[in-house]
């Protein structure tokens, strides 16, 4: 099923042609690719309503957000293609742009576009159940190529992919390790907080081979959680507010693997 596109904002901010895109040094566009059941936009409305008293300013911020929703893996692939085309048009319209792809000398100050992809792992898992592992691996390879191409455009998009990381905790001394997921599902992740009794994080995306393929495609993996139970238990299941540990589990484009810090989210 094709991806459903909902643009939040005026037509001249959707970025579908060179005439429509008029980037400025202060502009920032956000693309959210999410399942049709996603509550991202209502959550944004709630956060802005609590933090901003000026409704006009809040609406102006939402004009820079474009939501593309999908129903299945085919829709996800199509939505990524639409974002790729839109960001490509943006890169071509940038002042002084003479090529499609960014050079290694580009800096983070060039950031004008953020792409958030949600629901990738559940969508791949559902597709694997329906169509088999071989077909899903083939689609995933093409999808990753499209995302890689997107991240290298001169518009300097920051591509964020939300993945599901499960937790395997050790039981009390003398008890067997209890896993929150079925045996063989997902792959273990190296963490500074992994314990000697089998406590670990696991990247979960259907089978182990599919999880491994997804993990291999990620340049950097940042986890926000409770450091395998080291944050007080009363806050462990609270999304916001609370105390969290932010850890760089993987970084193959830098040298931040293993670094972590605490993050305290105040009450609104």
Secondary structure (DSSP) of 129-186: HHH-HHHHHHHHHHHHHHHHHHHTBTT--EEEE---EEEEE--STTSPPEESS-TTEE
Beta bridge partners of 242: 265
Q: How does pLDDT run across 93-116, given as a tens digit for each residue?
A: 765 554 555 554 444 445 578 999
- For the chain, what percent of residues have pLDDT higher than 70? 73
- Of 6-15, 50-59, 163-172, the one with minimum mean pLDDT is 6-15
Q: Any idea where the domains of the chain sit in the sequence? A: 4-161, 165-265
Of the segments 36-50, 88-102, 226-240, which one has the largest average pLDDT value?
Answer: 36-50
DSSP letter string, 42-99: HHHHHHHHHH-S-HHHHHHHHTTEEEEEESSHHHHHHHHHHHHHHHHHHHHHSTT--S
Examine residue 255 and say whether the peptide bond preceding it is cis (omega within 30 degrees of 0).
Answer: no
Task: Look at 242 and 87; give whichever has higher pLDDT.
Answer: 87
Q: DSSP state, 2?
A: P
Tokens of 36: 């049709």
Six token digits for residue 59: 């609406």
Bridge partners of residue 68, in order along the sequence: 5, 33
**Which CA distances in Å does 255 have to 21, 136, 157, 250, 259?**
36, 32, 21, 9, 9
Residue with the two structure tokens 């499960």:
166
Could you tell me how far CA 217 lies from the centroid of its own chain? Answer: 13
Per-residue model confidence (pLDDT) at position 70: 92
Supply the DSSP symbol for 177. Answer: P
- What does DSSP assign to residue 181? S
pLDDT digits (tens, 9 = 90+) for 164-175: 888 877 654 433
pLDDT in tens, 189-203: 888 888 777 788 889
CATH number attached to the domain at 4-161: 3.40.50
Do residues 182 and 243 touch, judged by C-beta distance below 8 A?
no
- Distance between first and last Cα of the chain: 39
Tokens of 94: 């940038």
């Amino acid at each position: 099923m094709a991806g459903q596109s909902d643009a939040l904002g005026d037509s001249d901010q959707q970025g579908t042609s060179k005439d429509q895109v008029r980037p400025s040094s202060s502009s920032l566009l956000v693309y959210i690719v999410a399942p049709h059941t996603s509550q991202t936009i209502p959550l944004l409305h709630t956060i802005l309503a609590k933090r901003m008293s000026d409704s006009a300013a809040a609406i102006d911020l939402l004009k820079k957000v474009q939501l593309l929703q999908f129903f299945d893996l085919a829709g996800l692939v199509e939505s990524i293609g639409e974002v790729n085309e839109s960001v490509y048009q943006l890169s071509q319209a940038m002042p002084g742009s003479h090529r499609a792809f960014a050079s290694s000398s580009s800096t983070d100050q060039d950031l004008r576009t953020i792409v958030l992809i949600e629901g990738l792992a559940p969508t791949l898992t559902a597709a694997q159940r329906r169509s088999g592992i071989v077909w899903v691996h083939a689609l995933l390879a093409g999808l990753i190529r499209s995302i890689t191409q997107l991240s290298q455009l001169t518009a300097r998009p920051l591509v964020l992919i939300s993945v599901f990381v499960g937790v395997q905790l050790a039981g009390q001394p003398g008890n067997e390790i209890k896993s929150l997921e079925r045996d063989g599902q997902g792959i273990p992740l190296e963490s500074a907080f992994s314990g000697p009794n089998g406590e670990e994080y696991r990247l979960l995306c259907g089978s182990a081979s599919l999880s491994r393929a997804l993990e291999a495609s990620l340049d950097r993996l940042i986890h926000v959680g409770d450091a395998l139970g080291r944050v007080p238990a009363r806050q462990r299941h609270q999304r916001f507010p609370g105390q969290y540990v932010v850890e760089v589990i993987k970084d193959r484009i830098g040298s931040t693997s293993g670094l972590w810090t605490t993050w305290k989210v105040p009450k609104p």
